[in-house]
């Protein structure tokens, strides 16, 4: 955030909570919002970036938002496909969360991935925009993902180093202990639930030092399932979610094949009522 920003708009009778007017989000399924279905639009998703944009728009009437993220994208694809369009939109706030799909893959090198991230952040920061980077979550208790916890930790340290090099802001998902709660994850156990996305959006707003109205309370849920019920759910998950994911990897396919960005242009953000949840007053297209 600019050091000389005093939260006053050009109109002395109005106040704003932040200095940004145009936000562009780059990334993969996490930023596209997978796991957080839009109740008002079948087949579409909200996500932490949409929730962040909604909060940013509440005190800035002309606030505009674009989301270029596409599920399944590797960091090289994100840089090749999304970086130039993002710069052309002339944002003053950019979020970039990339590399998660690369770390997931066998042989994914967190240092090499970070080298690509460094080049991308260098170009984005040169525009003068505030850049927000997001670390990966602590996935110690997550099936499948838990095995690559060490790689995620190394990549996170690289993200922090890149952020320090270019004076970017870091949204630290690893520090969110609430993400260890099962209700924070979608049924596929690979993406976050609506509650998870909301908690991450609140973390991002806190990282940007922006006051917000998002509820950050997460009540622990006691697991009352029997051993048999838990195993049955694990088998159902493996059949419905894990198997298709593994097959796509073997066939070199992506869940994002044929998918385009859900919000390619920076357009005004419409909020219906202060107390409405996102989806009742969502993005104007």
Distances (CA, A) of 163 to 84, 159, 188: 20, 6, 31
Q: What are the chain's domains? A: 22-221+254-268 (3.40.50.1110)
CB 110, CB 154: distance < 8 Å: yes
Any idea what DSSP says for residue 151? H
| Confidence (pTM) | 0.82
Nearest one of 246, 225, 224 to 234, comparing CA atoms:
225
Name the β-bridge partners of 267.
65
Per-residue pLDDT of the chain (285 residues; tens, 9 = 90+): 444 444 444 443 356 789 999 999 999 999 999 999 998 888 889 999 999 999 999 988 889 999 999 999 999 999 999 999 999 999 999 999 999 989 988 888 999 999 999 999 999 999 999 999 999 999 876 656 667 889 999 999 999 999 999 999 999 999 999 998 888 988 887 889 999 999 999 999 999 999 998 888 877 777 666 767 656 665 665 566 565 656 655 556 566 556 888 999 998 876 433 333 343 333 333
Backbone φ, ψ for residue 15 (5° rounding): -130, 150
Q: How many Å is the Cα radius of gyration of the chain?
A: 19
């Amino acid at each position: 955030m600019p050091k000389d920003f005093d939260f006053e708009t050009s109109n002395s009778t109005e106040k704003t909570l932040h200095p940004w007017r145009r936000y562009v989000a780059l990334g993969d399924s996490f930023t596209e919002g997978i796991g957080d279905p839009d109740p008002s639009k079948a087949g579409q998703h909200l996500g932490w970036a949409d929730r962040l944009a909604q909060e940013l728009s509440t005190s800035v009437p002309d606030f505009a938002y674009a989301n270029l993220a596409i599920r399944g994208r590797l960091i090289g694809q994100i840089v090749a496909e999304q970086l130039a369009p993002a710069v052309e939109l002339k944002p003053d706030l950019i979020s970039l969360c990339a590399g998660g799909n690369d770390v997931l893959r066998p042989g994914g090198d967190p240092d090499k991935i970070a080298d690509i991230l460094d080049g991308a952040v260098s170009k984005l920061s040169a525009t003068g925009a505030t850049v927000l980077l997001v670390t990966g979550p602590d996935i110690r208790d997550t099936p499948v993902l838990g095995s690559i916890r060490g790689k995620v930790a190394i990549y996170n340290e690289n993200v922090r180093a890149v952020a320090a090099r270019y004076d970017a802001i870091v949204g630290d998902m690893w520090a969110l202990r609430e993400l260890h709660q099962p209700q924070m994850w979608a049924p596929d156990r690979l993406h976050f639930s609506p509650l998870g996305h909301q908690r991450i959006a609140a973390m991002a707003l806190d990282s940007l030092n922006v006051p917000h109205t998002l509820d950050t309370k997460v009540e622990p849920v006691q697991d009352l399932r029997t051993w048999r019920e838990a195993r049955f759910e694990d088998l159902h998950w493996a059949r419905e979610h894990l198997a298709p994911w593994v097959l796509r990897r073997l066939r070199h396919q992506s869940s994002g094949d044929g998918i385009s960005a859900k919000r390619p242009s920076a357009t005004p953000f419409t909020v219906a009522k202060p107390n409405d949840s996102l989806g009742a007053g969502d993005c104007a297209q």
